[in-house]
Amino acid sequence: MQAAEKMSTDPQVKDMKDIVALCKRRGFIFPASDIYGGINGFWDFGPLGIELKNNIRDLWWKAMVITPPIGPDGHPLQIVGLDSALVQNPKAWVASGHVGGFSDPMVDCRETKKRYRQDHLVVLYPNDPQYEFGLSFHEEAEEVEIKQRFKKFKLSFEDGYIKKSLTEVPTENYIYVIGPDAKEPGTLTEPKEFNLMFETYVGATQSEDSKAYLRPETAQGIFLNYKNVLDSSRVKMPFGIAQVGKAFRNEVNPRNFIFRSREFEQMEMEWFCHPSEAKKWREFWIEERKKWWMSLGMSESALILREHDKDELSHYAKAGEGTIDIEFQFPFTYPGFGELEGIAHRCDFDLTQHQEHSGQKLEYIDPERDNERYIPHVIEPAAGLTRGMLAVLCEAYTVDPDRPSGVYLNFHPKVAPKKAAILPLTAKDGHPEKAEQLYMELREHFPVDLDIKQNIGKRYARQDEIGTPYCFTIDGQTMEDGTITVRERNTMAQERISMDNALAYLREKIG
Ligand code: ATP
């Protein structure tokens, strides 16, 4: 039994195809412009998807802005919110390093015309001196695909191979590399920079002077308003500014459903502090952020903390005190992990850049430190909201051959789009009226679903697939003694409670 349970929640047996299909079937996520065949890298959130996303967003906002954590001194931290524009003065993106710097080296394949991110390709060299060329693969390629391609090129996979990232292969040796979809070696071009920012024009004329960008991250809007916030609110160092919102990146290879899309949402907080305290706060936020993901129901074994390697360090990060990623074991990265959130020590990079480029003084005069003047250091927990939502969906997706739907979403009640469903057993005998009465009472307190039509088994199956923790059923006995059935999602166990106690029951179970 235990083994079976383990199997059913093991990411290995979670097939992304099934998760994507469930998301569409039940109204979580649709391809954008679906009726026109979609548009690569863009997604729409359906009736349940928007509820799930809002729940995660609201829990983040609560944890950051409404009830920020208690700091090491035993007092609550100060964090305020912000909602900055998607389009800012283009000079801001020059200062931040995004114009000019925000690009991924890309390689094109002359044979297949496909384009790849250089750091996303690996080259496998057969472990046999007879062969001097290697096959390249996407870093997420599965073993079956690798084996098949080895066989196709009449190479022995079983004798082993040497694996290198394409970034480690000198470009003059590309003549020995066979592109991931190519038949001949030597078709990959030298890496070229590719800017990820979407460009637009502001106003009636389209010229270099009216060129602007859709923001590629929410963080810069915070730095641009650092002075406004300081001047208009009562915050003192250390403090944070938090923002949730859309970001746009013209990703070369959008993939893995909403994991890497071209329009996505971020939840970012910039924590400003005295430079001497940055290290301490970095540790603090790493701990807090991991706890927060677990509070959404993510299991500890599915999360890891990964310190960035030297070559991944951002332009602003300090070696040894750089970025740590919180990573989740997605079905498509299994047995590896994929980034959910990065916690970076940005030093004073951004504010110094904006001070230089704007000519505005961004120093802080610290009354607690003898009016010392300094540019604060910044610790930035930067999380993906849409990517986080995918992690929550993958974690919750549970295969269970013992129930009619064959699967259920084991959402933590906090994130579940609907906390309970009210289901009249039949569409007659006063059941629907009684159900509506209960629905009207509960909906004032919890998001609940009233579902009247179809046989009860199908309705339970639907609620299982949308992850509703409790179903309340109104039946003949309700009309006699005022009791209803409660069905618990995970165990499918049923008990009878008084309909008058339904609200108290939900409050006790869900809070
Ligand atoms: P990656 O290495 O995956 O490209 P990143 O390190 O560039 O991500 P950040 O700039 O640190 O990402 O952004 C913070 C968070 O925003 C990421 O941890 C991720 O959750 C989310 N994110 C970044 N790019 C995308 C994207 N294209 N689609 C969805 N979410 C994204």
* Integer Cα distance of 456 and 446 in angstroms: 22
CA-proximal residue: ligand 1, atom 2 (nearest): 339
Q: Ligand 1 centroid vs 384 CA: distance in angstroms? A: 6
20: buried, middle or exposed (CB in 10 Å: 19+, 13-18, 0-12)? middle
Which ligand 1 atom sits nearest the alpha carbon of residue 341? 18
Which ligand 1 atom sits nearest the alpha carbon of residue 344? 11
Cα-only R_g, the chain: 26
Which ligand 1 atom sits nearest the alpha carbon of residue 249? 27
Confidence of residue 7 (pLDDT cuts 50, 70, 90): very low
Decide whether any atom of ligand 1 lies within 6 Å of the 217 Cβ.
Answer: yes
Q: Among 42, 102, 266, which is best to mutate for testing ligand 1, by the most ligand atoms less than 8 A from CB?
A: 266
Reported as type and span, the H/E element at residue 406 is none
CA-proximal residue: ligand 1, atom 7 (nearest): 342
| 312-317 contacts at long range (C-beta below 8 A, 24 or more positions apart) | 314/344, 314/346, 315/97, 315/101, 315/349, 316/97, 316/344, 316/346, 316/347, 316/349, 316/350, 317/344, 317/345, 317/346, 317/347
CA-proximal residue: ligand 1, atom 12 (nearest): 342
Q: Ligand 1 centroid vs 327 CA: distance in angstroms? A: 11
* Contact (CB, 8 A) for 429 and 479: yes
433: buried, middle or exposed (CB in 10 Å: 19+, 13-18, 0-12)? exposed
Contacts of 95 (CB under 8 A, 6+ apart): 353, 354, 356, 357, 358
Decide whether any atom of ligand 1 lies within 6 Å of the 289 Cβ.
Answer: no
Cα distances (angstroms) measured from residue 46 to each of 29, 50, 126, 419: 5, 6, 47, 18
CA-proximal residue: ligand 1, atom 19 (nearest): 384
Decide whether any atom of ligand 1 lies within 6 Å of the 382 Cβ.
Answer: yes
Per-residue pLDDT at 11:
62
Confidence of residue 115 (pLDDT cuts 50, 70, 90): confident
Confidence of residue 308 (pLDDT cuts 50, 70, 90): confident
* Integer Cα distance of 156 and 128 in angstroms: 9
Q: What pLDDT, in 10s, does the model give residues 347-376?
A: 999 999 999 999 999 999 999 999 999 999
Decide whether any atom of ligand 1 lies within 6 Å of the 341 Cβ.
Answer: yes
List the beta bridge partners of residue 266.
Answer: 245, 384
Q: Ligand 1 centroid vs 120 CA: distance in angstroms? A: 14
Which ligand 1 atom sits nearest the alpha carbon of residue 262? 27
Pick from 100-109, 346-355, 376-385: least confident: 100-109
Domain ranges across the chain: 16-84+217-395, 103-194, 418-510
Contacts of 477 (CB under 8 A, 6+ apart): 483, 496
Side-chain half-sphere exposure of 262, counting CA atoms within 13 A: 17
* Contact (CB, 8 A) for 267 and 244: yes
CA-proximal residue: ligand 1, atom 21 (nearest): 384
Mean pLDDT over residues 261-281, rounded? 97
- pLDDT of 201 > 60? The answer is yes
Mean pLDDT over residues 226-248, rounded? 97
Helices vs. strands in the chain: H and E counts, helices first: 15, 27
- pLDDT of 5 > 50? The answer is no
Per-residue pLDDT at 2:
34
CA-proximal residue: ligand 1, atom 16 (nearest): 384
Three-class secondary structure of residue 231 per DSSP: helix
Q: Where are the beta strands (DSSP E) in 188-262?
A: 192-195, 199-201, 211-213, 239-248
Per-residue pLDDT at 9:
54
SS3 content of the chain, % helix, strand, coil (to 5): 35, 30, 35
CA-proximal residue: ligand 1, atom 3 (nearest): 339
Q: Which residues of 246-277 are buried (b: 16+ CB within 10 A; e: fewer)?
A: ebbbbbbbbebbbbbbbbbbbbbbbbbbbeeb
- pLDDT of 15 > 50? The answer is yes
- pLDDT of 122 > 70? The answer is yes
Mean pLDDT over residues 167-196, rounded? 92
Per-residue pLDDT at 246:
98
> Which alpha helices (H) appear in 84-136, and where do they start and end?
90-95, 98-101
Decide whether any atom of ligand 1 lies within 6 Å of the 386 Cβ.
Answer: yes
Per-residue pLDDT at 195:
86
Reported as type and span, the H/E element at residue 397 is strand 397-399
Decide whether any atom of ligand 1 lies within 6 Å of the 60 Cβ.
Answer: no
* Contact (CB, 8 A) for 95 and 190: no
Tell me the average pLDDT of the chain: 93
Decide whether any atom of ligand 1 lies within 6 Å of the 260 Cβ.
Answer: yes
- pLDDT of 384 > 50? The answer is yes
* Contact (CB, 8 A) for 484 and 425: no
* Contact (CB, 8 A) for 239 and 272: yes
Q: Among 290, 328, 387, which is best to mutate for testing ligand 1, by the most ligand atoms less than 8 A from CB?
A: 387
Which ligand 1 atom sits nearest the alpha carbon of residue 382? 14
Decide whether any atom of ligand 1 lies within 6 Å of the 251 Cβ.
Answer: yes
Tell me if 16-84+217-395 shares its fold with 418-510: no
Give 418-510's CATH code, choosing from 3.40.50.1950, 3.40.50.800, 2.60.120.260, 3.50.50.60: 3.40.50.800
- pLDDT of 12 > 90? The answer is no
Fold of 16-84+217-395: BirA Bifunctional Protein; domain 2 (3.30.930)
Q: What pLDDT, in 10s, does the model give residues 53-78?
A: 999 999 999 999 999 999 999 999 99
Spell out the SS3 assignment of 356-379.
HHHCCCCCEEEHHHCCEEECCEEE
* Integer Cα distance of 282 and 378 in angstroms: 9
Decide whether any atom of ligand 1 lies within 6 Å of the 342 Cβ.
Answer: yes
Q: Ligand 1 centroid vs 261 CA: distance in angstroms? A: 9
In the sheet with 177-178, reading across from the earlier edge strand, the strands are 161-165, 121-126, 134-138, 177-178
CA-proximal residue: ligand 1, atom 26 (nearest): 260
CB atoms closer than 10 angstroms to residue 176: 15
Decide whether any atom of ligand 1 lies within 6 Å of the 266 Cβ.
Answer: yes
Q: Ligand 1 centroid vs 307 CA: distance in angstroms? A: 16
Q: What pLDDT, in 10s, does the model give residues 241-250?
A: 999 999 999 9
CA-proximal residue: ligand 1, atom 11 (nearest): 342
Q: What pLDDT, in 10s, does the model give residues 426-476?
A: 999 999 999 999 999 999 999 999 999 889 999 999 999 999 999 999 999
Decide whether any atom of ligand 1 lies within 6 Å of the 395 Cβ.
Answer: no
Q: For residue 32, report the phi and psi dihedrals to the nearest 5 degrees.
A: -65, 145
CA-proximal residue: ligand 1, atom 13 (nearest): 382
CA-proximal residue: ligand 1, atom 29 (nearest): 260
Reported as type and span, the H/E element at residue 135 is strand 134-138
**% of residues, the chain, pLDDT over 70:** 95
Q: Ligand 1 centroid vs 40 CA: distance in angstroms? A: 17
Confidence of residue 317 (pLDDT cuts 50, 70, 90): low
The verdict on pTM exceeding 0.85 is yes
